[in-house]
Amino acid sequence: MSSECTPISGKLRELGTWSSQQVRRTGGERCFNGLLEQHHYLDYSQPVGEQPKFIPLKRAYEFGRALRRACEARPERIAVIGTGGISHWPATPDSGRINEVWDREFLENLLHNRREALLAYRDEDVWREGGQEGFEIRTFIAVAGATEGCAGELWCYVPIPIFAVGCTVAVMRLS
């Protein structure tokens, strides 16, 4: 499906009649996600849990910081888990490709909780080096925010091409 990409200028009222419709969980969702991936730089976001891979990196980090404050207000011990892949290209002609060098660089920044380095990843570079699912690094960046000031430990990183991802197990402890 193609979409019209000619820039629109002018006032909204000059555009005439237009309509919008819900496409989440419908046949139009795939088109929407394609447009979202193409135009993510517009800072679009949905509520966390819907499309968190598209929120700005700084917002993911700040979400982690807020999550930590909420956890600290509770008496229970709480685990925060970041899931998803680092570099991977599932269901594409490059399926099975894993950029181990890029993954390990990201993990080094994550495990040393290098905030500035984590927030410096540009979406264009993530797309090129990490694939269309490399945007999932935001879940790990949220964990970095939740563990701000703490370093982590890599327990395991294994590229598994048949699963099209490098599997990682790492721990970030607050104490």
Residue 144, domain member (yes or no): yes
Q: Residue 49's pLDDT is what?
A: 43
Q: Residue 174's pLDDT is what?
A: 85
Boundaries of domain holding 94: 57-172
- Domain with 93 in it: what CATH number? 3.40.830.10
Mean of all residue pLDDT scores within the chain:
81
Residue 4, domain member (yes or no): no
Instruction: Name the domain count of the chain.
Output: 1
The mean-pLDDT minimum among 45-49, 101-105, 163-167 falls in 45-49
Query: Distance between terminal CA atoms of the chain?
Result: 51
Residue 92, domain member (yes or no): yes
Residue 15, domain member (yes or no): no
Q: What is the C-alpha separation between 98 and 121, in angstroms, rounded?
A: 18
- Confidence band of 47 (pLDDT split at 50, 70, 90): very low
Q: Residue 81's pLDDT is what?
A: 86
Residue 39, domain member (yes or no): no
Give the pLDDT confidence of 129-144 residue by residue, as tens digits: 998 888 899 999 999 9
Residue 71, domain member (yes or no): yes
CA 143 vs CA 110, 114, 129: distances in Å = 9, 12, 21
Q: Residue 145's pLDDT is what?
A: 96
Residue 44, domain member (yes or no): no
Check if the beta carbon of residue 148 is closer than 8 Å to that of residue 67.
Answer: no
Residue 52, domain member (yes or no): no
